[in-house]
């Protein structure tokens, strides 16, 4: 292949790339200049703070001191436990939320 034909092929490929870039730029321009603003990505909920056994224990102890021991026991049973140490750590946040209501 002669150098001229190689150069011609490279130039053709370069022109094709340029055309594709132009098309992409035009699509971006039309997308961002549309009458409607682009839709925002839905915001993800912030990760929940990890609730510790000690935090749950403190709230439940306070409820017991307030005379709500029976309600605390019912709450533990709701989570399948007779005592706090038997509650699955994955349920601490929900348990704490429920405890704050009683």
pTM higher than the cut 0.75: no
Residues 65 and 72: their CA atoms lie apart, in Å, by 11
Go through the chain and tell me how many residues it has. 102
Give pLDDT tens digits for 8-64.
888 888 898 888 999 999 998 888 886 665 566 667 766 667 999 999 999 999 999
């Amino acid at each position: 292949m002669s150098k001229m034909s190689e150069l011609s092929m490279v130039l053709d490929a370069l022109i094709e790339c340029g055309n594709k870039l132009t098309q992409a730029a035009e699509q971006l321009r039309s997308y961002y200049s549309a009458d409607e603003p682009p839709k925002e990505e839905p915001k993800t909920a912030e990760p929940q703070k990890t609730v510790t056994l000690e935090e749950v224990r403190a709230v439940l102890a306070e409820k017991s001191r307030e005379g709500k021991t029976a309600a605390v026991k019912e709450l533990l049973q709701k989570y399948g436990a007779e005592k706090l140490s038997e509650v699955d750590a994955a349920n601490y946040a929900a348990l704490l939320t429920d405890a704050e209501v009683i």
